[in-house]
Amino acid sequence: MRDFYGVTLDTPLMLGTAQYPSPAVLAEAFRCSRASVATVSLRREQGGGQDFWSLIKELGVHVLPNTAGCHTVREAVTTAHMAREVFGTKWIKLEVIGEEDTLQPDVFGLVEAARVLSEDGFEVFPYTTEDLVVAGKLLDAGCKVLMPWGAPIGSGLGLNNLFGLRAMRAHFPDVPLVIDAGLGLPSQAAQAMELGYDAILLNTAVAKAGDPAMMAEGFARALEAGRLAFDADPMEPRDMAAPSTPVIGKAFLE
């Protein structure tokens, strides 16, 4: 597994901490998910206070603060600085939202904010689209990780642009890539890993499931299966049938 700013994760799952019905359910979901990273919002932390922060620390995972809900460069940069003070980490998941209905990133503001934060010592995880030009500009701005969306946040639609995501993996073979947002089922996460992605970040699919812990375990197993499939060098799809049983030596009647 590739490292993320020098950190090698035990598992490829990054799990959000919002929308769970209770702290106990959140903790159990993390246990079943075997997630290596917890994403946290400064706004969420302020709502839960020290009790929430204590719960996050007890999970024993890496913490990735985010700038969720930010719509401008200034707002995102300010939130990132506050998060660094609160959570004591240089990691930041950078979100600069540009469109309300889809929560699509404002890629122009994203690149600008990424450059400002990288120059200030942050290790930026940018929530972006699968656009290759934007990806290149984010890398030029100092990012060493890319986090393209699978689909709009919270939609559960899965991987909307397989061609674009496959192209990003091929175009940036040495860059850690994380599918961030839009997954609703473990099968979609397995598909992302089969494409060669390095990790998955999700929240709603687990937190809003009828049984979050069971869904979290489903994602954990799917990620493992997807990674095994990718590492096994799977067969290429083909248009025509090919017999799986050899015909050489086949018995026949005259």
Angle 56-198-107 (CA atoms, 0-180°, nearest 5)?
85
CA–CA separation, 152 and 103 (whole Å):
6
Query: Using CB atoms within 10 A of its CB, is residue 171 exposed (0-12), middle (13-18) or buried (19+)?
Result: exposed
Q: Is residue 93 flagged as an active site residue?
A: yes
Annotation-wise, does 121 bind a ligand? no
Task: Check the annotation: does 203 bind a ligand.
Answer: yes
CA nearest to 17, candidates 72, 75, 57, 77 = 57
Is 204 labelled a binding residue?
yes
Q: Is 181 annotated as a binding residue?
A: yes
E strand spans, the chain = 13-16, 37-41, 62-66, 91-94, 123-128, 147-148, 178-180, 199-202
Q: Which of 93, 137, 208, 250 is catalytic?
A: 93
Among all residues, which ones are annotated catalytic?
93
* Annotated binding-site positions for 1-deoxy-D-xylulose 5-phosphate: 154, 181-182, 203-204
